[in-house]
Amino acid sequence: MEETLEKPGVFGRIRDFFVREVEDEFDEEALSAAPTKPTTLRINAATRYHITVRRQIVSFQDAVAAADGLKRGEQQILNLAMAPAELREKIKDFMCGVNYNAEGTWEELGESVFLLAPCTAQVEVAPASTRMVAGRN
């Protein structure tokens, strides 16, 4: 007698990777008496996190690009130092509104440099070191 085995396809191999077949013989009485625990399958997906650094924002179009990135869930670091003072305030007001709508985090990193992070990011602000505090005095 000749037995033919089919080669599993892509989906069959993926299914076999996640599904484990048990071929042991079970005693039905012992199985019914034992408490059953659900089998948990954990898949740890490696997620990529996107950060955009905008070194020179000199026009409102640059701010709109940063707002679109924040809406997509990308962290933005904005440097407004090169923008004229009036435009800088306009961009800050605009980005504050976008950040508020996205329920994100807003941190000032330096003079006219801001970090805007989406609500999915956890931002931890460490206390200033004594060296940094002394430099500001």
What's the one-letter identity of residue 132?
M
Query: Half-sphere exposure of 45 toward its Cβ, with a 13 Å CA cutoff?
Result: 3
Q: List, in order, residues 6 or more apart from 41 with CB less than 8 Å away.
A: 18
| β-pair type (75-79, 113-117) | antiparallel
pLDDT digits (tens, 9 = 90+) for 51-96: 777 778 888 999 999 999 988 888 988 999 989 999 999 999 999 9
pLDDT digits (tens, 9 = 90+) for 91-118: 999 999 999 998 999 999 889 999 999 8
Angstrom distance (rounded) from CA 62 to CA 35: 61
**51-128: what fold?**
Translation Initiation Factor IF3 (3.30.110)
Domain boundaries in the chain? 51-128
Angstrom distance (rounded) from CA 74 to CA 37: 40
pTM over 0.75: no
CB atoms within 10 A of CB 32: 9
